[in-house]
Structures are given as C-alpha cells and as structure tokens.
Amino acid sequence: MIMEEQNNKKERRSIVVPDQYQSIQAAVDAALPGDRILVKNGVYKETISITDDKSSIKIIASGKEVIMDGSTLQMNSNGFTITGNVVNVKIKGFHIRNYGGNGILLVGAKSCIIKKNTIYNNTTGIFVSSPSFDNRITDNSIFNNANGITSVNTNDNYYSYNMIYQNTGNGFILNQSNDETVFTNVIRNNQQNGIGINGGAAHILEGNEIVNNSQNGIILAAGLSYRIMNNKIMDNKVNGIQSNNVFAINIENNRINDNNTGILMNSCRNSVVKNNTINHNINHGISLNNESVSILLGNTINENGGNGIFACTSLVQSSIYNNVIFRNSINGIHISESVLNTIQNNDIVKNGENGILMDQLTNLNTISWNKTLKNNRDGIQINGDNAHILRNKSISNGKVGIRINGNNNRIIANKAFKNGKLDIMNNGINNVYEKNKFGTSNLT
C-alpha cells in the first residue's frame, strides 16, 4: 500500500498552459487526478468544465494577469463549472469576468477550494448548488456581479475572508442550505442586502463586516438555529438585522450602528439577543413584532432615533434584563400588546420621553429591579393591568417617577425620589401600594 501511494505521488504532474496546451480546458481534459495545471498570464476566452474523473486536480494562475473572459461566449456560460461529485479540486488566482452565467459554479462538489480569485461582471460571482458540501470559498474578491455568492440546498460549506462589494443585487444569498459558515468576510456597498438567508438551519455568521448595503445588512426568512456573532453591521440603509419567522436565533456580541433600525424581529420565537452594542440607528434600536419566549440580555442600546426597545404587538413570555439603555430619542423601553413578560435589572437613563412605557393592552407583566434615571418624562409609566412593579429605583425623571394609569397592579418596595412633578402618581383603580419609599405622590 505504501509503495502504491509513493508511485501515485511520482505520477502527479505539472501541466503548463499555454506551453503544453493552448487552452485551460484541453489541459483539464489531459489531467489525471492529482495533477497541477499552471496557467500563465493571458486572456482565455473559454468555459472550463471539471467532472468527477478530475478529482484532486489543482488549477492555479501562475501570474497576476491570468484572465478568463466570457464576453464572446454564449449568454449563460460559466467560467468554471465543477460538477458530478468532484472531490478536492482547487482553483486559485484567476480573474474571472463577463460570464452571462456564473463566474464559478459548483454542483455536487465536495471538499473543493476556491481561493484568491477576482470575480467580476458576471451574473453571479460564485454559485454553489446541491449536493455540494464541505467546500472552502476563501479570500476571493467578488464585485460588480448581479449577486456575489449564492448557495442553494447545500451543506457544511465555509466562506471566509472574501471581499464582496458593489454587486447590483445581494452580496451573499443562502437559500434552503444548512450548516453553512460565513466567517470574516467584508460585505459592503451592495445594492440590495448584504446577506440574505431563506430557510435552512444551523448557519453561523461570525466576524463579518457588513456595511453600507442599500437594503438590510442581514435579512433572514424562516429557518432555525442561526448564530450571528461578532459582526460589524453598520450604515445599511434599511435594518442592520431583520429576522422573519425564525426559530431559535442567537444574535450575540455584534456592533450594530447607524442603520435604519438596528434589529427588527417579526414572528420569531426562542430568540436570544445578547451583549450587542446597538447605537445611533435612525429608528429603534430593537423592534419586536409577534415575538415570544425570547431573551434580550446585556445589550448596550444608546442614542437611537426612536425607542431603545420597541415591542409593538404581541410580546409574550419574554425577558428583557441587564441592558443599558440611554439617550434614545423616544422611550427607553416601549411595550404594547404584551403578556407575561419580565423587564428586570435594566439601567434606563436620559431617554427623550419615558424610561419604561407599558401600553394599555399589556397584562400580567413584571417590572423589577430597574433603574430609571433622568428620563425627560416618566421613569415608569404603566397603562396596562395586573402588572407587578417591584423594587425599581426611579429618580430625577422630568415628570413622574412611577405613573400607574392601569388597574389591578401591584406596586411594591420601589424607591422614587426627586422627580419633577410627583414621585408616584396613581390614576387607576384597585392598585396595591406596599413598602414603597418616595417623596411626593397623589396617594391617599
């Protein structure tokens, strides 16, 4: 067996284009598994097909101006097509331009490496299709295509250190794929979304710079178990992250600044939004619609143009705790139409209107151990019913420390001092006040 492997290594050859073969395709056709094809500088107006009998070949540009140009070929031509269960092919160092199809197409490829290519003016830069898996797409420059990278029905591919910019559609699309990793890419100035994900499961988006895209930085539609971590998501024209109908998404340690809304979540469940910095967005820091059984923990949410956190419809059985929320233009936290939520241990300071605002259609929520300080209107305003307001500190707010307009609430062991109008104001019925410490009130 060892002798056989040694003989195979000896048989591996280097084939030079155009010295030995005038075209890259002719060199591929002549290559045996394991051969290396070195392509010298020049413009090659051809489309390359690599099938399963060519596994383990390496096609490498040996100069800085090795250009594949599809401008004279049929409209749907691809630069490279890797198909038919090919394993361990490497394509490195090419300029790939002007193909009406894809710059590089992988269909059924396994463990291939696409590295250090410059791919531009194609319909799609790189298209990865089922049943491709375990491929490495790394360190490519992909620009001025319709879409940068598209993955459809694939698994376990790894996309890293790519520059994906100025594409006329999306930077990156994952469609019904699973277990894909998108790591440390720069995705900027694309005319639609930076990253768009439709369906699938268990993707990891980590360490990417997603900046100045004309729609969303990241948009997710359906799917489950996504992890979005340690990204810079800035200056996108719509939302930093928009998540629709996703189950069990984890958004953690991201910097999400200067978008329209920082994070927008629609009809999601079991979400965790943790330890993010969400600053200077035009509208809300975090906006939630029809969200349930979710956690917002340890975020810093500052100086956004709307509310720090805004839940406009049907927030259910969720927790908002240990966040720092200050200097947002409207409210620190604004909750509407919600039930059975917990707002706990947040620092809510110097917001333009109220620290915490609970609307009329809120019920059975718990607001405890929060500090609401120096907000322009009320520290805490409760317009709903059956809430527990426990052990909060509401100090030096512009109007009222704790204002209760709803009914059947329990207000227990809070501290309210130095507020502009009253420390505690009761405008509802059947509210219970116990063990509170305050300076001024309208309680009788």
pLDDT, one tens digit per residue, over 292-315 is 999 999 999 999 999 999 998 889
The reported pLDDT for the residue numbered 229 is 98
The reported pLDDT for the residue numbered 161 is 98
Maximum CA pair distance of the chain?
99
Name the residue among 333, 324, 278, 283 with its Cα closest to residue 305: 283
Would you list the DSSP string of 101-154?
SEEEEEES-BS-EEES-EEESSSEEEEEETT-BS-EEES-EEESSSEEEEEES-
Residue 300 is classified by DSSP as E
The reported pLDDT for the residue numbered 332 is 98
The reported pLDDT for the residue numbered 310 is 97
To the nearest 5 percent, what fractions of the chain are helix, strand and coil? Answer: 5, 45, 50
The reported pLDDT for the residue numbered 52 is 86
The reported pLDDT for the residue numbered 6 is 43
Paired tokens of 26:
């002719």
Say which CATH architecture domain 12-145 belongs to: 3 Solenoid (2.160)
Distance CA 120, CA 399 (A): 59
Neighbouring CB atoms inside 10 A of 42's CB total 12
Identify the segments of the chain with pLDDT beneath 70.
1-11
* 3-state SS assignment for residue 382: strand
Integer angstrom CA distances of residue 333 from 34, 96, 353, 354, 375: 61, 50, 10, 8, 11
The reported pLDDT for the residue numbered 12 is 80
